[in-house]
Amino acid sequence: MISPILISLLFVSADMSPAERQVQLESFEHVWKTIRDKHWEARPGGLDWQKVHDELRPKAEQAKTAEEMTAIMSDMLARLKQSHFKIIAASAYKDMDIEASWGSGDAGFDARVLGDAAYVVRVDDGVPVSLGWKIRKIRNRDLDTAIHAVDAVYKGTTYRDLRMTSMLQSRLTGIPGSGMTVEFEDAKGQVFTKTILLKQPRGKAAAFGNLPPVPVFVETKKIGSTGYIRFNMFLDPVRLISTIGAFVTGECAACDGIVIDIRGNPGGIGIMATAVAGWFIDKPNLKLGTMHMRDSTLNFVVNPRPRTFAGPVAVLIDGASASTSEIFAGGMQDLKRARLFGTRSAAAALPSIVEVLPNGNGFQYAVANYISSGGKTLEANGVTPDEEVRLTPATLQAGKDAVLDAALSWVAKQKGKK
Amino acid sequence: MRQLGIAAFVCAAAMSGQPAALPSGASLFDKFVTVTGGRAAYAKRTSEVSTGTIQMAAAGVSGTLEIYSAAPNARMAMMDVQGIGKVEEGTNGVDAWEVSAVMGPKLKDGKEKAQAIREAMFNMPIYWRKLYTKVQTMGIETVEGVECYRVVATPNDGSKPETYWFEKATGYNLKVSRTVLAMGSEIPAEIVMKDYRKSGLVMQPMTMIQRVGGQEVILRLTNVVANAPIPKSKFAPPPDIQQLMKKAA
């Protein structure tokens, strides 16, 4: 008797038929040619791209399984040593009925790796977890091992925080309604296990083109007389942009300032950075930066809204703020329209698109380099905050979000300067 | 008189300094008018409503398209694209604007405004002499497997030259290469035109493939109605644009 699990294992490991091999080779060639023709550098990543083809094509022809082929294509892209080049597993596209397929139940708290351990850094109301608790195990799996694995590849790079956060997010999720055991350690060193009920994903499913659908939420509230806006991705533009606009020109029009929290926001649709900026910039023809393609450039010009918020703006960033988040934060900083708080961003800011390959896998590739209006290439450099503020276990355990507090304090001082 | 003068200059320019075997640029522009229906057919058109689809196949993005045009130079193009919402580009011949669910409202100015109004010229093919100071046939090239005459046209407003490819056998315009002004940028663009059919009194390409910034956008017209009544309000600046106009005044 063969169990369904074994059948599926056999299936994914089975040798490819001649027809499947042909589809895989077509995918290989498509990926290689796309980089050759559309990368913004004539020598992509400074490499002899033909040589890369000539080396990998024989390996592709010898590949026995789809997984081997995917690994070869991923190897090709990894040689560029640039963000936004990757193969997305076909399984991410299966069952686009997002409610059924997410498996991304919301734990109700966020975590970050601070130093060499993971800590709770934000908690929803009603979730039985406290700020600053150390996370030791998730579903009985030791987190140290995963942290070391990420460090083995990314330690010392600007991508470390982004990869660590991504690793944590992928573990702190599951089927909505199910329980997830997490072993915590509190400030006194006491170790205990809690079962966290995974809620329905926060927000609404949003898809864009060939990107797999993801839940997108936007939160607006007033903290005293300062407005606070947080959203997890630059997607679902109609809802997100109008929600932000309604808040900053309505309920919060008379606020002392606005704090925009894009910590942990990995980006989304690039041009949305200018759309959000349009609620805070009232002069026409200002740009956040410029996208440089092989044969042309495109300015990320901000269209000021008829009504804009004129008060102080603080933007919160961290090492997991990437891509469009960096375009937004870097541009607002260069235009001197916002003061940035937190830690350096991920330095992964290349405009890209996602295609579906003949073999069903997704293929994300960058088509341009991006330079902020201040003249800085965001890829590999990131955005440096005006005020570096780090979360620490001690401040978290005291119930404080030091980054948010610094921003609120700055906004309050601006009022005094008026 | 001035028009005649420009036309004479264009003809003279087109006639001079090119191999005898090549037809003049002026004759190719005129032939295009003839093969797509003739001057009289164009003159009967005073407005047009087109509907269709827009597709950015590589990125998996698609949407719908409606274009309203009226003489002399009013135009409103409305797109509704999956994932990014509605985008409207319009001009009433005096002002030009864009309103996008993502980008917000933009009142065009300078060269961008001039280009938008210029492109909205209704029945543009019969007015090419008003648009270009010089049209010159440069040679024969193959476009999408079809032999074409390549004609470089110099705009009279000082903008960058545009290149047209007219099919040798039929006279149809199969491709245009030009510079698009958008977002404070000058972006090289190519538009390949296919599937000419009689629609709205004249022959028009029902498929246009725009190649911009390494990406391909396909516009397919599914319905074209000539002289459909279009209320003037269709070309009026929307409220957000009116607010920006007040602010700018």
Confidence of residue A192 (pLDDT cuts 50, 70, 90): very high
CB contact under 8 A, A295 and B215: no
pLDDT digits (tens, 9 = 90+) for A378-406: 888 899 999 999 999 999 999 999 999 99
Out of A207, A296, A355, closest to residue B187 by CB: A296
pLDDT at B42 over 70: yes
CA distance B24 to B149: 10
Residue A77: predicted pLDDT? 94
pLDDT at B1 over 80: no
In A180-323, alpha helices (H): 237-246, 272-277
pLDDT at A98 over 60: no
State how far Cα A135 lies from the chain centre. Answer: 21
DSSP letters for A219-260: EEEEETTEEEEEES-B--HHHHHHHHHHIIIIITTT-SEEEE
Could you tell me what percent of chain B has a pLDDT over 70? 92
| Contact residues, chain B to chain A, C-beta under 8 Å | 56, 58-61, 82-85, 100-107, 109, 182-188, 212-215, 240, 243-244, 247
Could you tell me what percent of chain A has a pLDDT over 70? 92
Residue B46: predicted pLDDT? 96
Residue A97: predicted pLDDT? 35
Residue A333 burial class via C-beta count within 10 angstroms: exposed 0-12, middle 13-18, buried 19 and up: buried
Whole-number CA gyration radius for chain A: 23
Rounded to an integer, the average pLDDT of B142-164 is: 95
B63 or A15, greater pLDDT: B63
Residue of chain B nearest A295, judged by CA positions = B213
Residue B108: predicted pLDDT? 93
* Beta strands, E only, A109-172: 109-114, 117-123, 134-138, 141-142
Residue A416: predicted pLDDT? 65
Indicate the pairing of strand B85-91 with strand B74-81.
antiparallel
Rounded to an integer, the average pLDDT of A118-130 is: 95
Out of B58, B103, B186, closest to residue A303 by CB: B103
Rounded to an integer, the average pLDDT of B101-114 is: 90
Phi, psi of B88 (to 5 degrees): -125, 130
CB contact under 8 A, B185 and A298: yes
Phi, psi of A342 (to 5 degrees): 125, -135
Distance from CA of A304 to the nearest CA of B (A): 8
For chain A, the farthest-separated pair of C-alpha atoms sits apart, in whole angstroms, at 78
Ordered by where they begin, the domains of chain B are: 2-248 (2.50.20.10)
CB contact under 8 A, A367 and B82: no
Contact B149, A257 (CB under 8 A): no
CA distance A278 to A303: 5
Confidence of residue A318 (pLDDT cuts 50, 70, 90): very high
CB contact under 8 A, B215 and A278: no
Confidence of residue A91 (pLDDT cuts 50, 70, 90): low
pLDDT at A212 over 90: no
Residue B128: predicted pLDDT? 95
Three-class SS of residue A330? Answer: helix
Predicted TM-score of the model (pTM): 0.82
Whole-number CA gyration radius for chain B: 18
Three-class SS of residue A35? Answer: helix
CB contact under 8 A, A241 and B104: yes
- Residue the block writes with tokens 């995974």: A198
Choose the weakest-confidence range: A353-367, B13-27, B174-188.
Answer: B13-27
Quick one: tokens of A387?
């005020």
- Residue the block writes with tokens 């980008």: B103
CA distance B75 to B121: 8
Q: Which sign does the torsion angle of CA A233, A235, A241, A243 carry?
A: negative
Rounded to an integer, the average pLDDT of A166-186 is: 92
Q: Which long-range contacts (CB under 8 A, 24 or more apart) does A124-129 make?
A: A127/A196, A128/A194, A128/A196, A129/A184, A129/A194, A129/A196
Across chain A, what does the average pLDDT equal?
A: 88
Residue B198: predicted pLDDT? 92
Report CA dihedral (A249, A251, A256, A262) to the nearest 10 degrees: -80
Residue of chain A nearest B188, judged by CA positions = A296
Confidence of residue B3 (pLDDT cuts 50, 70, 90): very low
Closest CA to A113 of A155, A84, A82, A153: A155
Element (H, E) at A72: helix A66-78
CB contact under 8 A, A299 and B240: no
pLDDT digits (tens, 9 = 90+) for A351-365: 777 778 888 888 888
Confidence of residue A103 (pLDDT cuts 50, 70, 90): low
A253 or A151, greater pLDDT: A253
Rounded to an integer, the average pLDDT of B169-186 is: 92
Q: Which sign does the torsion angle of CA A247, A248, A253, A258 carry?
A: positive
Across chain B, what does the average pLDDT equal?
A: 89
Could you tell me what percent of chain B has a pLDDT over 90? 74
Give the number of beta-carbon pairs within 8 Å between A and B.
Answer: 104
Which residues of chain B make contact with A93, given a CB cutoff of 8 A? none
CA distance A202 to A105: 8
Residue B15: predicted pLDDT? 37
Which residues of chain B make contact with A293, given a CB cutoff of 8 A? 213-214
A11 or B40, greater pLDDT: B40
Choose the weakest-confidence range: A98-107, B91-100, B106-115.
Answer: A98-107
Out of A349-358, B55-64, B195-204, give the one with best mean pLDDT: B195-204
Closest CA to B208 of B196, B200, B199, B223: B196
Neighbours of A189 (CB within 10 A): 7
pLDDT at B101 over 90: no
Residue of chain B nearest A296, judged by CA positions = B187
Residue partners of A393: CB distance under 8 A and separation at least 6? A114, A119, A132, A134, A187
pLDDT at B2 over 70: no
CA distance B215 to A322: 23
Quick one: tokens of A104?
């991304």
Phi, psi of A302 (to 5 degrees): -90, 130
Residue A106 is given by DSSP the state B
Ordered by where they begin, the domains of chain A are: 11-81 (3.30.750), 103-197 (2.30.42.10), 206-350+368-417 (3.90.226.10)
